[in-house]
Amino acid sequence: MSEDGIRMVVGLILAATAGAAISLQTVFNNKVNEKTGSWTTTTLALGMGFVFALVASIMAGEFSRIQLGQIDLWYWFAGVTGVGVVFCLVQAMKRLGPTVTISIVMTAQLSTALIWDSFGWMGIEKIPFSMTKLAGILMIIAGVLVFKMRSKEKADLMEVENKKRMLG
């Protein structure tokens, strides 16, 4: 396999691992939220992540105050964005459940990435917009809607069955 092929396979494995980890973290955060509350959950999730990442960066020899001083000020707001991500995921999970929440998150990520790629914002490589990319996102949205409708039908049937048992 070529070097580019290996790089692609490793990238696919890492991306799939990150996707699974996001789903797992969302479930964990929801369980913590049941006992504590959204802000405490967010604090624990990001605080533990900070400690782990700091230790890992020091152990890997990557941590440098000089490098940190070279980062544009507004990039530091990524941490604030992380707070919003965790808080919103916890709230959405309570209302929608894990599958629908993650499906919507995935759709929003793809839609946002398509916009950022198309404009080449923040110095990323500009990748031309195409109707096939838009069609792919619309298909995912349709899939989420079908999944949600199917879940609602099942919930409605369960409710009817429960009422029948209570009456009969």
Answer whether residue 152 shows pLDDT above 80: no
pLDDT digits (tens, 9 = 90+) for 5-45: 899 999 999 988 998 898 889 889 989 999 999 999 999 99
pLDDT in tens, 83-100: 999 999 999 988 888 888
Helix then strand count (H, E) for the chain reads 6, 0
pTM beyond cutoff 0.75: no
pLDDT band at 159 (very low <50, low <70, confident <90, very high): low
pLDDT above 70 as % of the chain:
89
Q: How far apart are CA 11 and CA 23, in angstroms?
A: 18
| Mean pLDDT, the chain, whole residue set | 86
Domain ranges of the chain: 1-96, 97-168
Question: Do 32 and 42 touch, CB atoms closer than 8 A?
Answer: no
Any residues with CB less than 8 A from the CB of 63 and at least 6 apart, and which? 54, 57
**CA distance linking residue 147 with residue 141, whole number of Å:** 10
